Amino acid sequence: MSDEIEDVHADRRERAASRLRDVDVDGLICFPSRTLEYLTGFAAEPDERHFLFVVPAADHACDGPVLFVPRLYESQVRTETTVADVRTWTDGDDPTEAVRDLLAEYGLRDGRLLVDDTMWARFTQNLRAAAPDATWGLASDAIAPLRARKDDTELAAMRAAAAAADAAVTDLRCLGADAVGMTETELADWIVDRMEERGGRGAAFGPIVGSGPNGAKPHHGHGDREIGAGEPVVCDFGTRVDGYPSDQTRTLVFGGDPPETYAEIHEVVREAQAAAVDAVEPGATAAAVDRAARTVIEDAGYGDAFVHRTGHGVGLDVHEEPYIVAGNDRALEPGMVFSVEPGIYLDGRFGCRIEDLVVVTDDGCERLNEADRGWR
Ligand code: GLY
Ligand code: MN
Ligand code: MN
C-alpha cells in the first residue's frame, strides 16, 4: 500500500468524524460496504459474521476508529488498512457481548448513531439490543456529501473506466451485422470481454442488452432473445478500474433499417441529454438538470414515455448521491460525478436511452464518456 493511499483513507476518516460532529451525531457504524471501502480501502463481501467498523465523532486521540472483525480477517485488515485499533472475535464465541462492551467503552450505548444504509437487519437488530437507549440514523445522512465529491485519485480511476467502456462501444459498432442472430446474453458477454481487453475489470453491474421490445423495459438485463436486423438495442454497461465504475448507454441498430419513428426518437433523446449536460454547473440544482432533459422530451410529445429520473451519482456505488431527479433541490458542487441518461420507452416496441457520466467542474462540467452517441 502506498503512502499516498494510506493518507487518502486516514484523511477521509478524519473528515468523516468531523462531519459526524457537524451533524451532531456521536458515531457511525459500518459493516462490509462501499462506505467501509471508502473509509478504509478494505473491500469485502458481507456475510453472517459480525464485521463492524465504529467511527466515533469524538476527536481525542484515544477515541479513534475501531475495526471489530472475525479473527480470520485480522491479518488482512492489519496489512490492507491503516486503522490502528483492530479487535477480533473468534468463531465459536458469541460476539454480541463484545459489541455491547465496545459501544459502552466509547460511551455510545445511549448516543446518536448512524449505521450503514445497506447493513443487514440481523446486525442492526443486534446493535439495537446492544445499545437500547441509542437513537439511529443512516450513514448517508453524514457521509454521502463527502463521497459525492470525488478527489483526483477517484476521478482518474473513473476516467480510465469510462475510457475502457468507450473503447468497447467502438468495438460494438464495428460488429455491425455480425451482431444479428447473437442472443442478448452472448452480446453482453462479448461486451464485458471487450471492456476487459481495454483495461477494465469485469462488469460494474449486470449489463443491459435490451433488443426490440425488451429495450422498452429500462432495467431488462439480458436473455436468450436473438437480436434482429434493424432492431434498436439498448446497450447499457460499465466496468471498473481501481474499484471505480463507469456507466454508459448507447442504443444501436445492427444490420438493417430501424422502425420508422426510431431516428426521430433517438434525436429527441440525444437533444434531451445535451440539454441536461448543458444545464450542469456548480450551484445548479439536481432538479434543474432533470427538468432540462424532461422539457425536451415532453415538448416532443413523449413525456409519458420517459419513465425514470435523469440520472444518479456514481462512485464506489454505481448508484449513489446525488440523484438527478425532480424535487432534489441540492446544489451541484465541483467534483460530483453523475450519469445523464434520459430515455424514451415504447412498451412492446423498443426503447432508446443515451447515458454518459459527467463531472462537475468549476465552471460547468466535463463528460467522462466521449464515444459516438449515434445509433448506426
Ligand atoms: N444500470 C442502469 C443505469 O444506468 O443506471
Ligand atoms: Mn447505465
Ligand atoms: Mn446509470
Residues, CB within 5 angstroms of ligand 3 (ion): 247, 339
Expressed in angstroms and rounded, the spacing between residue 207 Cα and the centre of ligand 3 is 11
CA of 259 to the centre of ligand 2 (A): 24
Residue 62: the pLDDT is 61
Angle at 113 between CA 30 and CA 104, to 5 degrees: 90
Taking residue 193's Cβ as centre, other Cβ atoms within 10 Å add up to 12
Asked whether 255 and 230 are in contact (CB, 8 A), the reply is yes
> Which residues face 201 on adjacent strands?
240
Q: Pick the closest to residue 237 from 254, 219, 255 (CA basis).
A: 219
C-alpha of residue 319 to centroid of ligand 3, in Å: 7
Q: What pLDDT is recorded for position 61?
A: 47
pTM for the predicted model, two decimal places: 0.95
pLDDT in tens, 162-180: 999 999 999 999 999 999 9
Residue type, 222: H
Which ligand sits closest to the CA of 219? 1
Q: Which pLDDT belongs to residue 199? A: 96
Q: Is 356 in the pocket of ligand 1 (CB under 6 A)?
A: no
Side-chain half-sphere CA neighbours of 284 within 13 A: 25
Task: From the CA of 208, give the closest atom in ligand 1.
Answer: 1
Q: Which residues of the chain have pLDDT under 70?
A: 1-6, 59-62
Among the atoms of ligand 1, which is closest to the Cα of residue 206?
A: 1
Q: How far is the CA of 158 from the centre of ligand 3 (A)?
A: 14
DSSP state string for 255-303: SSPPPTTHHHHHHHHHHHHHHHHHT--TT-BHHHHHHHHHHHHHHTT-G
**Distance from residue 341's CA to the centre of ligand 3 (Å):** 7
Say how far apart CA 328 and CA 304 lie, in whole Å. Answer: 20
d(CA 171, CA 119): 39
The full DSSP string for 187-235 is: HHHHHHHHHHHTT-BS-SS--EEEEGGGGGSTT----SPBPPTT-EEEE
- Span between the terminal Cα atoms of the chain, in Å: 45
CA of 237 to the centre of ligand 2 (A): 6
Report residue 60 as a C-alpha cell.
481525542
Q: Count Cβ atoms below 10 Å from residue 34 Cβ, excluding itself.
A: 19
Measure the CA–CA gap between 13 and 90, rounded to whole angstroms.
Answer: 27
How many angstroms separate the CA atoms of 35 and 147, rounded? Answer: 8
* CA atoms of 321 and 325, how far apart (whole Å): 11
Mutation pick for ligand 1 pocket among 317, 319, 369 (CB with most ligand atoms within 8 Å): 319
The sheet with strand 311-313 has its strands ordered as 320-324, 311-313, 337-340, 356-360, 365-367
Residue 290 near residue 276 (C-beta atoms within 8 A): yes
In angstroms, the CA 281 to CA 269 distance is 21
Strands 244-245 vs 27-30: parallel, antiparallel or unpaired: unpaired
Burial of 230 (0-12, 13-18, 19+ CB in 10 A): middle
Alpha-carbon distances of 304 from 163, 301, 346, 347, 354, rounded to whole Å: 33, 8, 10, 11, 17
Total length of the chain:
376
Strand partners of residue 226:
183
Quick check: CB of 317 below 6 Å from ligand 1? no
pLDDT attached to residue 21: 95
Q: Is the CB of 341 under 6 A from ligand 1?
A: yes
How many angstroms separate the Cα of 264 from the Cα of each of 260, 276, 302, 305, 351? 8, 18, 11, 14, 13
In the three-class reduction of DSSP (H, G, I as helix; E, B as strand; rest coil), residue 48 is classed as: coil
Domains annotated on the chain, with CATH? 3-147 (3.40.350.10), 149-367 (3.90.230.10)
**pLDDT on residue 275:** 98
pLDDT at site 58 = 83
- What is d(CA 294, CA 309) in angstroms, rounded to the nearest whole number? 9
